[in-house]
Homo-oligomer: A and B are copies of this chain.
Amino acid sequence: MNRQRLEQLREIHRAGLLDDVVPFWERHSVDREHGGFFTCLARDGSLYSTDKPVWLQGRATWLFATLYDRVAPRAEWLDLARRGCEFMNRHCFDERGKMYFLVTRDGRPLRMRRYVYSEVFATLGYAALAKVTGDADIRRRAIEVFNTFLRYTRTPGLTEPKMNPQVRPLTSLSPRMCLLNMADVMLAIDDDPRYERLIDECVTDVFRDFVRLDEGCVIEHVGPGGERVDAPEGRVMNPGHAIEVAWFMMEIGRRRGDRALVVRGAKILDLSLARGWDPQYGGLLYFLDVDGKPATQLEHDMKLWWPHSEALYATLLAYHLTGDAKYAGLYEQVHEWTFAHFPDREFGEWFGYLHRDGTVSTPLKGNIWKGPFHIPRALLYCWKLLEEMAS
């Protein structure tokens, strides 16, 4: 990539973030009356539901605190992050300290789920806000929620698995993927040596059990000894997840000056794109069966906003850290498809759900999973990396 292209891309990501995506959420998602964030937004930003998904309260908190930290110390961003944090404090925990999945506009609990992914994003949100405010109470919250996540994912029997563990015991990539990122974020506010140790454990687990370099795939679920399980759930690959793992590893490698980890992360990216990129229509498939059997998820061949957002940053980071021109080519491939299909030129922000052929399946801008997170994170991280690369 020449200097001109780097500068052009830098401006595309900066403008996408600050002139389009962030203003869209600032305009439509803030609940000035009850606090917290709406995310069930139709194409034009109008609300089709006032229910508040808890994942997105943590994610929005993370975003606004991180914009304050990395873009500019604007009072309104800090205020929005604080409002997200307060809404979580007040309404998103049950009496055991476990977080809900969905609450009403005014914070009454609608759904609790088995797992602890609300805790993942709350950890990111609290930690980002604790970092910029230095507030001891918020810092304490971050540590508590991180501990809840650890307890629920590591205490056998505490999270009821989908499949009967006596008959088909499975271990999963997701909690390890989340933990890699959470621990890396926690390091900014807590000097407890456990975080580096947890990261090491995750890296070991992920490469021993889930990343299959010989087979060229990343598997979501394996048996308790890391063995392949010959059932649909034991053959499923989620290329977007694998790409997130790839860049989390590369970021940790960069921070630690661990070149070998960067290279291993880049290898995950290679195989994720080799497996996940749709040879017919382009773009990343959502789920696939690594043995070429039929994927069982109805949405398996849809193109979603978040794997593409993650792939933008992962390819750019791989290019920057390895210097291998291959990744510049992969970045451009992802960039071209993503920017050609996802942004909504009429109402702003990005569509989230496309059919396999790239046409829009639903025009909504947000729901209980899509909110102000993957797109602005990728735009911010790419922009800042491109600044570094251009200088």
Contacts and interface: CB of A to CB of B under 8 A. Distances in A.
Copies of this chain held together in the complex: 2
* Main SS class of interface, A: loop
A72 interface: no
Nearest to A43: B294
A75 interface: no
Given A48-B232, A48-B294, A293-B48, A167 B104 contact: yes
Interface in A250-284: none
Interface in A193-245: 231-232
A61 to B, nearest CB: 23
A42 B356 contact: no
A211 to B, nearest CB: 23
A316 B49 CA distance: 39
Given A289-B48, A362-B294, A164 B109 contact: yes
B111 A40 contact: no
Contact of A111 (B51, B162, B289, B296): B162
Interface in A337-391: 353, 355-357, 361-364, 367-368
B367 A296 contact: yes
A108 interface: yes
Contacts of A19: none
Interface stretch (A30-38, A141-149, A298-306, A319-327): A298-306
Interface of A: 40, 42-43, 48-49, 51, 104, 108-112, 162-164, 167-168, 231-232, 289, 293-296, 298-302, 353, 355-357, 361-364, 367-368
B363 A356 contact: no
A355 B299 CA distance: 10
A110 B296 CA distance: 17
Contacts of A362: 294-295, 300-301
Given A104-B167, A163-B111, A298-B299, A51 B231 contact: yes
A75 to B, nearest CB: 34
Nearest to A300: B362
A108 B293 contact: no
Contacts of A43: 294
Contacts of A353: 298
Contact of A167 (B108, B302, B355): B108
A48 B362 CA distance: 31
